[in-house]
Amino acid sequence: MAVETKVGVYLCSGCGIGDSINLEELSNVATNEYKTPVCKSYTWLCKNETVSEIESDIKNESLNRVVIAACSDRFMEDVFNFDKDVQTVRVNLRENVAWTHKSMDEDTEMLAQDYLRMGITKAKSIDITVPAIEDITETILVVGGGLSGMSSALAASKAGSKVILTEKEDELGGWLKNLYKLPPTKYPYDTLEENNVKELIAEVEAKENTRVIKNCEIEKVSGQPGQFEVKYKMKGNSSEEILKIGSIVQATGWKEYDPENLADLGYGKFKNVITGNQLEKYIQNVNGSKTLNDMPVSSIAFIQCAGSRDEKHLPYCSAACCTASMKQMLYVREKFPDALIYMIYKDIRTPSQYELLYKRVQNEDRIFMTKGEVNNLRQDENGMIEIDVDNTLLGEEIQIKSDIVVLATGMVPSTFVEEVESDAVVDEDDGSGETLDGKKEAESAEIGAKILNLSYRQGTDLPTLHYGFPDSHYICFPYETRRTGIYAAGTVRAPMDYTQCISDAKGAALKSIQVLYALKNGVAVHPRSGDTTMPDFFMQRCTQCKRCTEECPFGTLDEDEKGTPLPNINRCRRCGICLGSCPERIITFKDYSIQSVSSMIKAVEIPDEFEEKPRILAFLCENDAYPALDLVGRYRMQFDPSVRVIPVRCLGAVNVVWIADALSRGFDGIIMLGCKHGDDYQCHYVRGSELAEKRMENVQEKLKQLVLEPERVQIHTVAIDEYEKLPTLFNDFVEEITEIGFNPYKGM
Amino acid sequence: MTQNKISSNLLVIGAGIAGISSALEAAETGLNVILIDKEPFIGGNVARFNRYFPKLCPPGCGLEINIRRLRTNPAIKLFTLAEVASVKKNNGKYNVGIKVSPRHVNRLCTACGDCAKVCPEKTANEFNYKMDETTSVNIANESAYPQQYVIDMKTCKGESCNKCVEVCKYNAIELNQTEETIDAEVDSIIVATGWEPYNAENIEVLQFGKHSDIITNVIMERLASPNGPTKGQILRLSSNEKINSVAFVQCAGSRDENYLEYCSSVCCMASIKQAKYIREQHPEAEVHIHYIDIRANGILESFYNEVSKDEKIHFHRGKVAKVFHNPETNKMVVEAEDTLTGNLMQNPVELVVLATGMKPNSLNGLTDEISFDKNGFLNLTNGAITGCGVITEPKEVASVVQEATGAVLTALQTINRN
C-alpha cells in the first residue's frame, strides 16, 4: 500500500435518514474518532450538484477513499462512481438503520455510528484494484465433431474466431451421419427434412479459420483459460502434438443406453427387436425391397422409453425419443406404405410445435398409438413378436403382434461413468483431521470420464451433478460449468433434440468467445462479471494444508509435490472461498481481505456488560441474504438494533478467524445467513454455503473448548424472497443470546 | 417531443429473462447494447413468478445477479416504457425509431415511497394481473428495477391534485413529461418480446372469469409469491378461506386446434410445482392434476417422479370437458373423461387452476426481414435480426437463457468487432 489513504465522508439525511438519526453526532465519529480530512452532511446526496462537490473535494483534497453513508449499495451505483483511483465504500444508513429501527433512539444512533466506523475502517484497509492483463491465445477448441460440435465450431468461426475442432473418429458427423432424415424444424412441422450432414461437414472443413483434427485423442489439457495447452495424439500414432488454446467447448455428446440391458424387451434375444438407431441405418438400404434388413415389415411396433424413465435403467427422460420415433414412423410409412405401425408410450412428449408433428402422425392411416407399459414380450412360432401391453388408457390389457419391434433407447451423456472404483481414489490426507468435502469432490472428479484429461488438482473432467451431466446453475445460468473457460454443449449437457443442440452449440460458442474478451480486459466472468480483483497468496507462510486447493469450487488451484498451491488466476471466479478456507490467512483480495473485515469487526463499539446491550455480528451473503435485508428495509419492518451486518462475497468466503475476532472483541453472538445447499443448491459458487456450514461444526467444537456455548454461533439459510424471516431470525437470536448471557470474554 | 440519437451494436427488444440474458451476454462480450421494454419495470413474466421448477428457487435470486450485472455495465443502455416504432435498413445498419412513453417520474427518484403514501388515487395493479389495486404513483414491487416510481396517468388527477409533486423532496415528479423518440442506429437486433398468458376466457367451458375460485396458473404464482396480493397465502379468493382441495386443468387452451394448436411446454411442470406450493401451505389438501400427457422432459422427470409419489397429489389422465360451480356445495366441479371407465368423472374441489398456455406477443409489421408463423412465433433466420425466448417457441426458463446466449452469437456474426 504505497499511497496513504485519505478518506472523505459524506452523510445523507434524505429518504428519512435525517428524521431517524442525529447526523451531527454521526459526523463527530468521522471527525473526532477518525480525523477524516473531509466530512460533510447533505440533505440530498445523490443530487448532481452534490456529487459534483464530492468530485471537487476528491480533486482539491486529494481524496482516494470516499465513504458514502446513505442508501444501500444496491442503489445509485452509477451516481457514486468516481475516478478509478478512488475507492468508494457505501454505508447503508437507509435500509439497514433508518428504515428498520426506532427513530431518534439511543440504540439506533449507536447502530448508525458503528456502521460508519465500520465503513471508514474498511475504506482505510482496502486497496484500489487494477485489472491484470496478460497475453492470451484466442483460439477456441471444440471437442467432438457431431452435430453440436460442428455447429459450435461453425458458429464461432463465422463470428471471426479461430477454431480447432477435434473428433475421435476418422470422420466428422457423429450420430448425425447415421440419420436417414431430420425432424421438421419449421412451421407447419409436418415434413421431415433431408439430412444435410454432408453439407455441414463440408462447410465446417472449408472454413479458413477452422482446423479439423480427426482421429484425435486428447491426452492432457493443462493451464488455464487463455493459456490452455492441449496435448493430443492421433489414433495409432504415438507422437504427441501440442495446441495453444484459449477456451474450450465440450460437445462430446451421448452414448446410446446399452440395449443389451433391455433383454426384457427382447433385445439380444430376438433378431427382429432392434433399436431406433439401427432402424435409421437399415431404412437407408431399403430401395424398393419389401424387407428391412431382410425382415418382413407388414407390421412394426415402436416401444418408447426403452430404458428411459425407469429406475432400473435411466431415471430421466431422454427428451428426443418421442420426436425421433415419430420421424421413424414416417420413414416406415414412406418405404412400406401398407405396414401397420404401432407405438406404445408412457406419455407422448412433443413439446411446443412438435405437437404438430404428433398430430400429423396421428392422422396417418394404419398408425396406432397407445399409452401403456410392456408387460411381456415373446416370439411366436412364425417369428413375430407378441407384446402384452398393460395399464393402457382403458385399463385393459392388450396384445400387439408385430414383425419388428423398435426400441426407442435413451441417451447417456459421454461424461457418465458407470461406478466409482474405490482403488482409483487418490488419497491425499492432509493429516489435519479436518476432512472437508472438497476432497471427496476431488476424488469423484478424479475418476471421471477422462475426456478432456484436465491436469487439474480436482480431477480430469467437468464435475457432474445429476446422472453424469456437468454441474451448472442450470436454470438461470445454464452454461456456468465449474471449470472456467470450458463450456458443455449439446447432449452432454442435458438430453436434448436436434434443434436444441444447434441452439445450445451457439450459446456455448458465445461463452467461449466471451471468456476470452473478459481475460483480455483483466476482469472476471460470471457471477462477479467485471470484477478486477483477484486473490493474492503470501506463499512464504503457506503450510501446505491444501484446504484452498480442495475447496475451490472452480478448481483454480493446482499443487506442487509438496502441496503448495499453484494458483491459475484465469480459472478464478473471485468468490473468496479460498480466503475463507485458509487457516494461515495468507489469501487476500485488494478490496476484501482478512484484515479489512477484521478491522471492521474491531471498529464496533462494544458496550460493557453493565449496559445490558448485547452485540450480534451477522455475516450475510451479498447475493441473496443481504438484498433480502434491503427488502426488510423497503417494507419498513423493524428488528433488534444489536445486530451489526457485514455483507460477504459468499458464506464460504468467511474465515473462522473473524469469528474468533468477534468473540474476543466481545460480540455475544454471531449469525451467518447464506444460500441453500444440497442437490438443489442456490449458492452462486456452488458449494460456498455448504462449506461454511461444515466449518461451523469445527467452530462449535472450539467454542466448547473455550467453555462458550455453541449456540453463540449459528448459520441459517435464507433465500432472497424470504425477507420476512429476517427480523424474526435476528430477534430470536438476540433473545436466545440474552438468555444465555453475555460473552464472558467481553472487555478482556 | 424530444429526439435523441444513439448508435449501438445491438438492440434487444424486450427485457424479460430472454432479453436481459441476451443483453448481458452481449455486453460482457464487448458489444454496446440498447435494451428496451414496453413495461415500466424489467423482468417480464418471470418477475411475477414465485419459484422456478424443478429447484423451487425464487426467480429473484438469478434476477438479483442479472440486475447487478446490468446496473454496473455501462455498455448497456436500458429504456423502459419503450417500444419500437419503426425499423429501416440503411447501409447495412438498422435505423430504429424507439418511442419512449413518459414515466412522469425522473431519474432523481430515490424510491423513498413518500409519493405513494400521499397518493389518493387507485389504479389496477398490472403486476398482479389486476387482481388488486395500487396507487396511481407506484412501483411494481419492492425489488422492481429500475427502482423508480411510475405514474399511471389514466387514473392520476394531475396538477389538480399535485400531492406527490408537493411531497417529493427530490424534484422527481414531472406530471408534464412528454413522449420521447430515440433514433437508434444498430448493427443487429434480437427480438425477445416474449409471451402473454393465453386468455382463458376464450375457453368458455372452463368458466374462467365466472367465479373467483377458478384461476389461472399465472395468478397462482402471484398468490404464492410473498410480494403478491395475498402476501403468499394461497386462498379461496371467493371467501379468503383455507383450501382443502384443488384441481389443475392441464392444456387449458393448449394442444387444441380451437385455441392453441401447439403444446406450451411448461404447463405440466408449472402445475406440478404449484401442487408443491399447495402441499407446503396446506398439508391436508388434496391435489388433483387432470392431464393428457405429462411432459417432464429430460431431467425434469425426476421432479415429476418425486411429486407423483406424494399420496395427496393425484394424477388423472383425461381431458377436462368442463368446469362449473355447484352452488349447493359451493364447490367447483371438474368434469373430465375417466380413462378407466370411458365415462365422465366429476371431481368437486374448492379451487380450480387452469394451466393456460403461452401466447407469443404480437410484433407484426416491424420489417419484412422477419416473419412469424401462423401461431405467431418468430421464424428464425441467421440474419442480423434474430430472436430468442418464447417468441421463437414455448419453452422454460433454462431453455430461454440458453437460446438467449446463442442468439448473441448469431448477432455477433453480423457485427464487425474491430
The residues near B166 (Cβ < 8 Å, ≥ 6 apart) are B118
Q: What mean pLDDT do residues A583-600 have?
A: 97
Q: What mean pLDDT do residues A331-352 have?
A: 97
The most distant pair of C-alpha atoms in chain B lies apart, rounded to whole Å, by: 73
> What domains appear along chain B, each with residue ranges and CATH number?
2-101+179-194+361-413 (3.50.50.60), 114-167 (no CATH), 199-357 (3.50.50.60)
Portion of chain A with pLDDT greater than 90, in percent:
89
- Shortest distance, CA B348 to any CA of chain A (angstroms): 23
Interface contact B297-A354, CB threshold 8 A? no
Q: Residue A479: its chain B contacts at CB < 8 A?
A: 402, 405
CA A81 to CA A59: how far, in whole Å? 14
Q: Does residue A442 surpass a pLDDT of 50?
A: no
pLDDT of residue B342: 75
pLDDT of residue B417: 59
Chain centroid to CA A353: how far? 30
Give B246-269 as a DSSP string: EEEEEEESTT-TTS--S--SSHHH
Q: Does A725 touch chain B (CB under 8 A)?
A: no
CA A684 to CA A472: how far, in whole Å? 10
- Chain mean pLDDT for chain A: 94
Burial class (CB in 10 A: 0-12, 13-18, 19+), A679: exposed
Domain spans in chain A, listed from the N-terminal domain onward:
1-128, 140-253+415-520, 257-410
CATH code, A257-410: 3.50.50.60
Size of interface A-B (CB pairs under 8 A): 236
- Shortest distance, CA B269 to any CA of chain A (angstroms): 12
SS3 A626: helix
Mutate to test the interface with B, among A92, A190, A506, A676 (most CBs of B within 10 A): A506
CATH code, A140-253+415-520: 3.50.50.60
- Bridge partners of B135, per DSSP, are B122
Q: Does residue B405 surpass a pLDDT of 60?
A: yes
Task: Select the CATH number that applies to the domain covering A1-128 from these four: 1.25.40, 2.40.50, 3.40.50, 1.20.120.
Answer: 3.40.50
Residues A698-728: tens digit of each pLDDT: 898 889 988 999 999 999 999 999 999 999 9
pLDDT of residue A423: 39
Q: Does residue A426 surpass a pLDDT of 50?
A: no
CA A145 to CA B3: how far, in whole Å? 50
Q: Residue A353's closest chain B neighbor by CA? A: B262
pLDDT of residue A669: 97
Residues 134-193 of A with CB under 8 A from B: 155-156, 158-160, 186-188
- Chain mean pLDDT for chain B: 95
Mutate to test the interface with B, among A50, A369, A720, A726 (most CBs of B within 10 A): A720
Chain centroid to CA A726: how far? 26
The H or E element containing residue A9 is: strand A7-12
The interface predicted TM-score of the complex, written ipTM, equals 0.97
Q: Does residue A436 surpass a pLDDT of 80?
A: no
CA A107 to CA A85: how far, in whole Å? 36
Q: Residue B80 carries which DSSP code?
A: S
A1-128 and A257-410 agree in CATH topology: no
CB B211 within 8 A of CB B332: yes
Q: Does A393 touch chain B (CB under 8 A)?
A: yes
pLDDT of residue A289: 86
pLDDT of residue B233: 97
Model pTM? 0.96
CB B219 within 8 A of CB B228: no
Q: Residue B224's closest chain A neighbor by CA? A: A721
Give the nearest partner residue to B405 out of A77, A511, A682, using CB atoms: A511
Distances (CA, A) of A683 to A163, A686, B72: 33, 5, 21
Interface contact A631-B68, CB threshold 8 A? no
Q: What mean pLDDT do residues A274-302 have?
A: 96
Residues B323-362: tens digit of each pLDDT: 999 999 999 999 998 776 778 899 999 999 999 999 999 8
What is the pLDDT confidence band of residue A391, given thresholds at 50, 70 and 90?
A: confident
Residues B139-150: tens digit of each pLDDT: 999 999 999 999
Burial class (CB in 10 A: 0-12, 13-18, 19+), A255: middle
Residues B353-362: tens digit of each pLDDT: 999 999 999 8
Q: Residue A306 carries which DSSP code?
A: E
Q: Residue A676: its chain B contacts at CB < 8 A?
A: 57
If phi > 0 it is left, if psi is from -120 to 50 it is alpha, else beta; for residue A51 that is alpha
Q: Residue B143: its chain A contacts at CB < 8 A?
A: 627, 631, 634, 720
Q: Residue B409: its chain A contacts at CB < 8 A?
A: 155-156, 159, 506-507, 509-510, 513
